[in-house]
Homo-oligomer: A and B are copies of this chain.
Amino acid sequence: MPDQRPHGDNAEARAIASALRDAIHSGEYTPGDKLPSERVLATTYHGARNTARAAIQELIQEGLVRPEHGRGYFVRERPRWMRFGRLRYTTPMRAVTRHGPFGAEARAQGKTPRVEVRSAERIPAEAHVAERLGIEPGTDVVRRENWYYADEIPMQVGITYIPWSIAQGTALAKAENLGKRSLYGRLEDLGYTIANIREEVTARPATREEAEGLDLPAGVPMIDLWHTGMTADKHPFEVTNFCMRADYSALDYDMPVEY
């Protein structure tokens, strides 16, 4: 039968989590180290295994710890090596790479990029998209779904919307890699040179689909970015919704306050 001592004041699991957290922060455990097992923690703290487990789950949610089935719990290392910003859209940057902005950053970090064009289809624009493209909702657009990998780790998903009137009859409307000059090169050929961008950034927990599709460890949030590409006179012609895993990603913008 459950013993049920009148659990003093502060939750037991919380206490174990704090102890482990302090141990990690103090350097007693360094990234990659193995933590004591659930069963060991339980006995050393005179609690149930479930309680020790709850404590570790808390640390997992904080992104401090990573579980490995059959092996143990390990202190997470926090890489954060992909940085994206304004510069990725500049012409010289695009000139160097075969894979567009993503590939440029990946190579700069010594990683091997891969882009997977999952689909390209003609659909009516949803409100979110239409608003940003400055068109009527329901107007046809091309929806391109790209998955981005660095060293075969899925990093982000980008869903690009381009008005059908622009993409019609071009490679942009086909579900294939766009090759050397990438999306923005193709658009430039069509007379749409990206000169201004708007980037709306939020963060949120990963959805279940993302966690499965991107093979995300628990406790990794997503950066949710709506990018709008505009011409010199601020006419939008392309919108992309990037969802990137926050543990590997950072955004880096520099801009004039007024321009």
A181-214 contact mask (Cβ, 8 Å, vs B): 1 or 0: 0000000000000111111111111111000000
**Complex contact B246–A196 (CB within 8 A):** no
Expressed in whole angstroms, the minimum distance between the Cβ of A121 and any Cβ of chain B is 22
**Complex contact B202–A21 (CB within 8 A):** no
**Cβ of A11 < 8 Å from any Cβ of B?**
no
With A61-B61, A221-B221, A221-B246 as known contacts, state yes or no: A257 contacts B195, CB within 8 Å: yes
A243-255 contact mask (Cβ, 8 Å, vs B): 1 or 0: 0001101111111
With A203-B221, A204-B221 as known contacts, state yes or no: A196 contacts B256, CB within 8 Å: yes
**Complex contact A202–B253 (CB within 8 A):** no
Q: Count this chain's copies in the assembly.
A: 2
Contact residues of A: prevailing secondary structure: mixed
**Complex contact B201–A253 (CB within 8 A):** yes
**Complex contact A204–B257 (CB within 8 A):** no
**Cβ of A90 < 8 Å from any Cβ of B?**
yes
A86 to B219, CA, bound (A): 30
With A221-B246, A251-B200, A252-B198 as known contacts, state yes or no: A205 contacts B257, CB within 8 Å: no
Expressed in whole angstroms, the minimum distance between the Cβ of A22 and any Cβ of chain B is 10
A259 to B197, CA, bound (A): 12
In the complex formed, the residue of B with least CB distance to A62 is: B205
Binding site for B on A (CB under 8 A): 17-18, 21, 61-63, 80, 83, 86, 89-91, 194-208, 218-223, 246-247, 249-259
14 extra interface residue pairs, beta carbon distance < 8 Å, beyond A63-B205, A200-B253, A201-B251:
A86-B257, A90-B258, A91-B258, A195-B256, A195-B257, A197-B254, A199-B253, A200-B252, A202-B246, A204-B246, A204-B247, A255-B259, A256-B259, A259-B259
